[in-house]
Amino acid sequence: MESKNLDNLRHSCAHLLAHAVKQLYPGALNAIGPAIENGFYQDFDMGRWNISEVDLPKIEAKMREILPTWQKFSFNEVTLPEAKKLFKDNKYKIEMATEFAKQGKKLQTNDPGGFLDLCKMGHVENPSKELRQFKLLSIAGAYWHGNEKNKMLTRIYGTVFPTKEELDAHLKMLEEAKKRDHRKIGETLELFTISTLIGSGLPIFLPKGETIRSTILKYLTDIKKSNGYQFVWSPHIARSETYHISQHWGKYDAMFAPMKLDKEEYVLKPMNCPHHFQVYLNRPRSYKELPFRIAENGTVYRNEKSGEVSGLVRVKALTIDDTHTFIRYSQTMEEVDKVLKMIIKILKTFGFDNYVARISVGDKNHPEKYLGSPQEWERAENALKRGADNLKIKYEVGEGEAAFYGPKIDIMVNDSLGRSWQLSTVQLDYNQPRNFEMKYVDEGGKEAYPAILHIAMIGSIERFMGILIEHYAGAFPLWLSPVQVAILPISEKFLESAQKVKEELQKSNIRVELNTDNKSLGGKIRQSTLQKIPFMIIIGEKEVASYKVHQVYQGTVRTREGKDLGMMEVNKFINQLKSQIENFS
Amino acid sequence: MESKNLDNLRHSCAHLLAHAVKQLYPGALNAIGPAIENGFYQDFDMGRWNISEVDLPKIEAKMREILPTWQKFSFNEVTLPEAKKLFKDNKYKIEMATEFAKQGKKLQTNDPGGFLDLCKMGHVENPSKELRQFKLLSIAGAYWHGNEKNKMLTRIYGTVFPTKEELDAHLKMLEEAKKRDHRKIGETLELFTISTLIGSGLPIFLPKGETIRSTILKYLTDIKKSNGYQFVWSPHIARSETYHISQHWGKYDAMFAPMKLDKEEYVLKPMNCPHHFQVYLNRPRSYKELPFRIAENGTVYRNEKSGEVSGLVRVKALTIDDTHTFIRYSQTMEEVDKVLKMIIKILKTFGFDNYVARISVGDKNHPEKYLGSPQEWERAENALKRGADNLKIKYEVGEGEAAFYGPKIDIMVNDSLGRSWQLSTVQLDYNQPRNFEMKYVDEGGKEAYPAILHIAMIGSIERFMGILIEHYAGAFPLWLSPVQVAILPISEKFLESAQKVKEELQKSNIRVELNTDNKSLGGKIRQSTLQKIPFMIIIGEKEVASYKVHQVYQGTVRTREGKDLGMMEVNKFINQLKSQIENFS
């Protein structure tokens, strides 16, 4: 189904929900009820009622009861005074009607099943038939107009699909996603912690999480280095003046509050760009040095509201795998191609084989709105499109969506649950070289401005890890697993041999844990499985006896999926592990 | 010479300097003139005179002219009214006299060579003989009382030694240190930059500097990991409340200004401790888990005054190789021993073979001033002393110097110029576990507080790199060199072969640069030598001809010291390099 029709379906269902709630809870007032990604919500001022998720089945039943009476949405245009009269008991509707009228919008009512509501257009033709496959999902609080000074309303979330199959698939996905919630897995596997003392949105990576984090960053760093990227390090603050020059000051909402010190004003960096520009500006540059590629896994600070941060996916401290590449305009095509190839290679390493792109381009009818000549823009946009074509990446073009300073391409991946995440961005920029007077001397000895590619291949490592935890359901592939092998001695008697085997693995830089708990083998296997450790080596009578005969350490290998790989020579197994790790699998 | 006598010598010479300046520049007023490390200074209000370093020889000549008349320092005790009368023309002396009197100190004057001055005790017996080996060094501005609201005075620095040999050795060291100034070398070798836009005291590491930085940090990380340290990652800010609990708030001067956001107050972390405590607090801990070693190369922010920051050695953004080890009290001895061994191993890797320690212990007569029992303190202090003894580290004991929360040991190294730097610290802490309610369950099932070892093995990586640059005079050993090998084709004709040789080296992860500049071989060698690249491989007619015969790449190898190692097979040379790098040399 096309997304517009799906939106109509969802929005219609929000009306139905409002109808049911108002019948069940006299005096409850419905506020807004829009379609959102994967469903809809409807806000209510519940008056004297208090509801929770246990009430959802009752509300659903009422919706099903009403539904057959919902034959169609018929529209009446009304004047503001009429609207005020019709909705005199609902201050939210009156406020919305007044606002619409002020904006010169038409006021329309509809009354399917006799339920009068004020609404913008966009509904299904035949609600009684089309709205059957719905499900209410959750309840949350939400301020009216999203402003914490206003009243807290009750928001009910739901979803609806054209067919039962689609609804079931979606609900199953939600259920699976719930099980994979990275906040829950992050706690169970001790990957990260968020301390209320330190602050919300400021995750601390625990040893196991930091192992994954640094393994990913090392992988990215190695790939970038071998592609000619040079790493730098920059501090996390800058004088406020920096962001006046970059023109972010006052325009960029997420900036942290400035700090006054010693007559100077500093601010946490919300982006790494100006710091990297100082590297470029360190000395005069020649055309021979371009492309000049500067990279840093730099932590930036963005003031997400404390109520809006969540786990690793939305945080205040973001470590971006940031790259700024300075190019001559004529190098755009070649460099974009190279960058997109790297990005796809990286995404595939993490099992993201499905991806699409969105290319944001300028508005052809208004070239005056953009910095740089139409020819330059055409060349840059073509570079992005051809880059995507070369790699057979499907893309949509967002006409007029580009920022005034350059077009960009975003890469969206589907995770193992089919959910879409935007990960990579390549943004062309003709603007900042002018703001910061970054130039180079061209072949003819004249000064010229480079273009800049702002590149984030995985975005922020925090968000990427949040996504990966859910993508893998915590069962990270061997190369990323914080503990790669658990050694399980069947009893204390085999501890010494187990220790020797552990040392053998450590010598090969395998991350290994020796389970010395006073538990049965079954208990130890269960522990390792819950900790999603890819491999277990069991050491008992048989294994030690075999060592006595062959003078070669042996162990019985088992996977976290419960597969028994039988008794193996430890060194041969190490070689298998090493080759798997080298292949990032 | 003992340091007290040396101080007397230096302080006496400051008087002599004051005498000379007042004779040469009528109306100039002398303020304070103390002994400092390696010399002395004397502050002057120069009145209508302006002097600069070109005037120093003239002042020195005057000092030598006066010196024979300086037979001895004779002291007279005076009253405040007498002092005010004697020094009526010098408002600084009157202010000091008034201040001394207020503090109940004796007021004394002396007049060697007829030069009347107000002064505390501490001079040489026979100035005309003992003060001969002096030298004036530099001039700087300095606010009266170090307060920028006061007048800027003129400060003349000088030094004096008992013998000519000692003075000459010191002046030679200063000259060498000047050549090795890490700010100058850092610029020439493009290691770091400090941008006035981003802010003073906030160095940005350029690609070559970042290569050294990350190589050092990787080395430290690997050593720590193989010794059971677990790495974590924590954000650079925390809610201000954190430092109220840690009891730093209001007591710790170098804290950055707080930021108000979203009803919460945050501040840049001035230390990593409380963040690491959250890792410990993530779940209940058992005695079996101790020692629990948490490490992070964490960047902290300290508000050094902009006028006081300098290069890499004194900065506002410090990345500390921080470790917090939680131990049972009974584990102190063993853990301290282990830590000191690691520290010495690390220091030796960087060529710091001379080190001494200072152990700060509690005041035995006032056990009530300290947290923890006298027995615990004794055990801890003995652990530090025995740790030092075991490693044959000479140490001084600072009685009563310990903080109330635990004793500590600092390690000082001598660099290649013989200058002393404090690098490593191991601080015992009985206090923070109580502040943050960090406990463990002991063998008997009861709750107990651990002790914490706060450990920095190299201190901050910024300061350490500043020291290393001067220690090595920029000629980093092979394993640390940003570029390890330069390939120098004799002419364009050999570019293709040079490229092949470069690729061979890159395959072995050797950091290599191909010099394609349009320069003579001599010019290229000069370039590489100035860049302190350890090895150069020259590719010309002879080398290519040999390849044609043997099908093995050959190159003529030269060192940055100018030694010709002759023609070698590239692969054999690579093996030599690899083994040298693996041995951190």
**pLDDT (0 to 100) of residue A3:** 64
Closest of B430, B372, B427, B373 to residue B401, by C-alpha: B427
Q: Quote the percentage of chain B above a pLDDT of 90.
A: 79
Closest of A451, A300, A278, A327 to residue B209, by C-alpha: A278
For residue A262, give the nearest of B198, B260, B306 by CB distance: B306
Give yes or no for residue A225 having a pLDDT over 70: yes
Closest of A524, A536, A533 to residue A564, by C-alpha: A536
Q: What is the pLDDT of residues B161-187, one digit of tens each?
A: 999 999 999 999 999 989 999 999 999
State the smallest CA–CA distance between residue B445 and chain A in angstroms. 17
pLDDT band at A147 (very low <50, low <70, confident <90, very high): confident
Asked if residue B311 lies in contact with residue B322, where contact means CB atoms within 8 angstroms, the answer is: no
Token pair 């707080």 in the structure block, residue: B258
Same fold, B3-170 and B485-582: no
**pLDDT (0 to 100) of residue B4:** 67
* Any A CB within 8 A of B259 CB: yes
B505 φ/ψ sector (left φ>0, alpha ψ -120 to 50, else beta) = alpha
Contact B238 A197 (CB under 8 A): yes
DSSP A467-489: HHHHHTTT---GGG-SS-EEEEE
Bridge-partner residues for B41, per DSSP? B157
Please provide the average confidence, as pLDDT, over all residues in chain A: 93
B-interface mutation test, from A266, A271, A502, A513, most B Cβ less than 10 A away: A266
**pLDDT (0 to 100) of residue A530:** 96
Closest of B22, B18, B51 to residue B32, by C-alpha: B18
**pLDDT (0 to 100) of residue A74:** 83
Closest of B225, B233, B180, B251 to residue B475, by C-alpha: B180
Question: In CATH, what class is A185-348+417-472?
Answer: alpha beta
User: What's the mean pLDDT in B138-167?
Assistant: 93
In what helix (H) or strand (E) does residue A395 lie, and over which residues does it extend? strand A394-398
**pLDDT (0 to 100) of residue A4:** 67
Please provide the average confidence, as pLDDT, over all residues in chain B: 93
Give yes or no for residue A516 having a pLDDT over 80: yes
Tokens of B256: 């950055």
**In Å, what is the CA distance from A445 to each residue of A279, A372, B379?**
22, 22, 72
Q: What is the pLDDT of residues A9-43, one digit of tens each?
A: 999 999 999 999 999 999 999 999 999 988 999 99
* Any A CB within 8 A of B294 CB: yes
Contact A198 B278 (CB under 8 A): yes
* Any A CB within 8 A of B7 CB: no
Q: Please state whether beta strands A485-489 and A512-514 pair in parallel, antiparallel, or not at all (unpaired).
A: parallel
Q: What is the pLDDT of residues B245-271, one digit of tens each?
A: 998 888 788 899 999 887 889 999 999
| ipTM (interface pTM) | 0.88
Contact A238 B190 (CB under 8 A): no
Q: What is the pLDDT of residues A362-374, one digit of tens each?
A: 998 888 888 878 8
Higher-confidence position of B549 and A412? A412
Q: HSE of B270 in the Cβ direction (CA atoms, 13 Å)?
A: 21
**Chain B residues with beta carbon closer than 8 angstroms to that of A317:** 235-237
Q: What is the pLDDT of residues B26-75, one digit of tens each?
A: 999 999 999 998 899 999 999 999 999 999 999 999 999 999 999 988 88
CATH 3.30.930.10 fits A3-170, yes or no: no
Q: Return the number of CB contacts < 8 Å for A and B.
A: 169
Give yes or no for residue B1 having a pLDDT over 60: no
**Chain B residues with beta carbon closer than 8 angstroms to that of A203:** 235
State the smallest CA–CA distance between residue B268 and chain A in angstroms. 9
Token pair 């209000």 in the structure block, residue: B45
Closest of B270, B576, B283, B172 to residue A208, by C-alpha: B283
Give yes or no for residue B218 having a pLDDT over 80: yes
Contact B278 A193 (CB under 8 A): yes
Distance CA B216, CA B464 (A): 10
**pLDDT (0 to 100) of residue B213:** 98
For residue A207, give the nearest of B207, B232, B283 by CB distance: B232
Tokens of A390: 């070369």
Q: Where do the DSSP E strands lie in B124-201?
A: 134-143, 152-160, 192-193
User: What's the mean pLDDT in B80-88?
Assistant: 91
Exposed, middle or buried: residue A227 (CB in 10 Å: 0-12, 13-18, 19+)? middle
**pLDDT (0 to 100) of residue B546:** 84
Q: Choose the weakest-confidence range: A386-390, B261-265, B276-280.
A: B261-265
Residue of A nearest to B461 (CA): A233
Give yes or no for residue B509 having a pLDDT over 60: yes
**pLDDT (0 to 100) of residue B479:** 98
**Chain A residues with beta carbon closer than 8 angstroms to that of B239:** 197-199
User: What's the mean pLDDT in B270-279?
Assistant: 97
Asked if residue B488 lies in contact with residue B528, where contact means CB atoms within 8 angstroms, the answer is: yes
* Any B CB within 8 A of A246 CB: no
Q: Which of residues 172-191 of A touch B (CB under 8 A)?
A: 190
Domain ranges of chain A: 3-170, 185-348+417-472, 485-582
Which residues are CB-contacts of A324 (< 8 A; sequence separation ≥ 6)?
Answer: A272, A273, A276, A277, A280, A293, A294, A295, A452, A453, A454, A455
Token pair 């790699």 in the structure block, residue: A391
Distance CA B133, CA A373 (A): 71
SS3 A145: helix
**pLDDT (0 to 100) of residue B3:** 64
**pLDDT (0 to 100) of residue A254:** 86
Contact A268 B259 (CB under 8 A): yes
Q: Quote the percentage of chain A above a pLDDT of 70.
A: 99
Asked if residue B504 lies in contact with residue B537, where contact means CB atoms within 8 angstroms, the answer is: no
**A271, amino acid identity:** M
Distance CA A102, CA A100 (A): 5
**pLDDT (0 to 100) of residue B2:** 59
Taking the CA atoms of A386, A388, A394 and A395 in sequence, report the sign of the dihedral they define: negative
**A370, amino acid identity:** Y
**pLDDT (0 to 100) of residue A65:** 96
Q: Choose the weakest-confidence range: A99-103, A233-237, A304-308.
A: A304-308
Global confidence as pTM = 0.88
Asked if residue B543 lies in contact with residue B561, where contact means CB atoms within 8 angstroms, the answer is: no
Higher-confidence position of A192 and B379? A192
What length does chain A have?
A: 585
DSSP B371-409: SS-HHHHHHHHHHHHHHHHHTT-EEEEETT-SBTTB-EE
CATH architecture of B485-582: 3-Layer(aba) Sandwich (3.40)
SS3 B209: helix
Contact B197 A239 (CB under 8 A): yes
pLDDT band at A493 (very low <50, low <70, confident <90, very high): very high
**In Å, what is the CA distance from A277 to each residue of A232, A234, A435, B184, B213?**
11, 11, 11, 22, 20
Distance CA A218, CA A213 (A): 9
Q: End-to-end CA distance of chain B, in Å?
A: 37
